[in-house]
Structure 1
Amino acid sequence: MRYKLALSLSTAVLFLTTTAAASAQTTTGTIGFHLLLGDGSAEETLTLNGGNYTDLIMSNMIAGVMYGHLVQEYAAVPGIQFNKDYLYGSIMAQLLQENIATEDYESSSSLIDPSSDQQAVMDEGQGGPYQINNYAVDLVAGSYAPAGHSLINYIAVQKNIGYTMANAATQYSKVTPPSFNNKYYGPMLPAFFHYNDMVALNVTGKGQYGWTTPWEPEYDEALANFVTLPNSFLDVILNAAYNQGYYGTLVPQYSTEGATATESTVASVNSYSSVWGNSNTYAQYPYQVHYYLDQMYDNPVPTTSPSTVVTPTNHIIFSVGTLEGVFSDVFQTLAHSNGTSAAQFFTAAQAQTAFNSALSQHGVSSSASLDLSNASNRATIFAVIDSAIGNLESTVGMKFNATTTSQL
């Protein structure tokens, strides 16, 4: 069972309203998390001042952009549109909601969860700090043996995942591998998992796996509609799929809405009033993700009611030089192969060259500082990371959504 904790909104509001305005070059502010919107009794916070969490936020945003990059590479639905702020940020928000005490993170450590009090997330079947409970399951075949739609089938993550194709069928009965707790590699696993969800929902019900599914044909119709619908709520569908599962009520519900959605539908689905005061944690989850991100992005967030809002004044400063270092550290945990040769980890030189080329592509100085809480700066951060990912693909001749049924 994923870690759940109902926490109060009222205290979060106090933190938001008392956060002092900050210099654009100073990381400052507070993020409240672990709460039920409109219903709860306690909370936890990240205090951003001092920058302890900045590199963790960076690695999670890099993973989030990878998630979106994978989505855009899915050949079955080319050109699908989504809300980048919410989809790219959903990995970080997942960590806040699903993990135990993310505030215990220490930037001096390579671990997401360094405390002994947090280690329950590494137990058998837990899936680490992001609680990817079904990480060892093939999401289309429905088996523990990888058949093409299991995390280990993705070439980029296979080499570092902590088990092999030979023993993958029994991994579900073992403790979660230590690599899931690495702050550079760990965030990539939910990124690939969510993409795998998107693919599995599309593939299941067709061909060899032609089972009757409650989300079709509306899910496919929603994906097709999202190609022409800016800022679609794809993130909401996929967060519901992760949190409640495919066969719950939410994936079919949101798929049905998505099939005929307009910009007005997007606004309605994204409204906090959709779940305000609802104690159903599955219904709350996509909106908890939004709430945590809206705080990080300085978007208005609800306080005592959905229509009573406050605008945070947080600042999360990304030094471009530091971001390059984190990008390099992240991609040195991932691998590439032509599908037959042994997989090789990306090198620091490859990652740094790809990142610096992306800076040039977007006219960003290597000495710049960008504020994740500023919409324009945030768009630049995301664009640079996405281009750098694409540059790495060009360097090695492999798309990151490439899969294999072999141990490479």
Structure 2
Amino acid sequence: MSSHQVQLLFVDLALIVIVARVVGRLVARFGQPAVIGEILGGILLGPTLLGGTVNTLFPMGVRPLLTGMADVGVALFMFTVGLEIESRHLRGRGWLTAGTALGSMLVPFSLGIGMAFYLLHNHPADRHGTFIVFIGLSVSVTAFPVLARILTDRGLSRTTLGGIALATAAMVDVLAWTGLAGVQAVAAEGGHHWRLILAIPYLLVIILIVRPVLSWLVGNGTALRPQNPSAVLVVLVGILLSAAATEAMGLHFIFGAFIFGLVTPKGTAVHAFHTEITDHIGRISGLLLPVYFMVAGLGVDLRHFGATQAGELGVILLVAMVGKFGGTYVVARLLKLPPRPACALAALMNTRGLTELVILGVGKQLGLLDGPLYSLMVVMAVVTTMMTGPLLNRIYHRPVVVPEAPSVRLPEAQEVPSA
């Protein structure tokens, strides 16, 4: 690596961090999550606005280094996704959680499959079946971390609605990542599918050895006590090794990081440890994730956006919004959730955020998405996430109470504050 490339690497990193922070704060003034600004910042640094200049600003010799840093940031992000999914989110919600999760997943997935046949006309794929299933998954995802942040910012996280939303989003996330793992296993090239059988001993080691050891170290040992630098070191090494393991099996590294987050101790008993790890890992990923947005932005090119692309984008947005919102709302109402909370829950499930970008990045890496379709799907992710705040403001312009309903096994009624 030449001295000039080193200089450009540092300049590019500084530019990425500045743009992400400025645009993130700008959109936050309009009630949008900072992640939307960071995604838009990545698009602003891409060819859509800069054209050919982007190759001078981000030369090919520097991009692999930025991509590597972005991959580490995504791995740490996926760890935090798994870490935030606690078993308490999935317990005690009864049929309401299971039903709304299935409605939020299966309805957009089914519509997405139909849309995939339409997209194949302009975006031919070598593996039609894999492409169709992937498109269905890509419009079915919900961004659990962004949703949790929205609930916290609006004071909804400890309400009945917040608990239902977190439980439903957690279940949808698990289903989505499981489906994506299957898609990647089928789409993987190179004739090394036999390596997938290694997932069985890997999961056994994670569940039967790694998880108990981590729980013992946190509960009884001294190595993972809060404020001890060894705690962050042990977890960080575990994330990286778990990510490397799934990548070696032919699965994407994000699955290893996500699974390690799932098995890391959490809950009220280890709250201090959880807070410490989240804080430190969050700082590292907070620096590296904007690099991922930049790398993603380099693949978004809307310079040739015309009538055909506008029509495709309209179909994608319609399927994504109607499928997610409609599927969640209809099932929630069938399970006796009142109209306004059901509407709010549907709006929350329509949040896609960075989770969608990660899935789209996997699809592009596997060759399932070409450049134009990838660009349109990224726009869909941004638009649907930006809708969440305004929709909640519209729905909850005044306080509402989610009543107790034995048939849906809701927790004790709590007032939902206005946005």
Q: What is the TM-score with the length of structure 1 in the denominator?
A: 0.28
Q: Which has the larger radius of gyration?
A: 2
Q: What is the TM-score with the length of structure 2 in the denominator?
A: 0.28
Q: Which structure has greater helix proportion?
A: 2
| Greater relative contact order, per chain length (Cα 8 Å cut-off, separation 6+) | 2
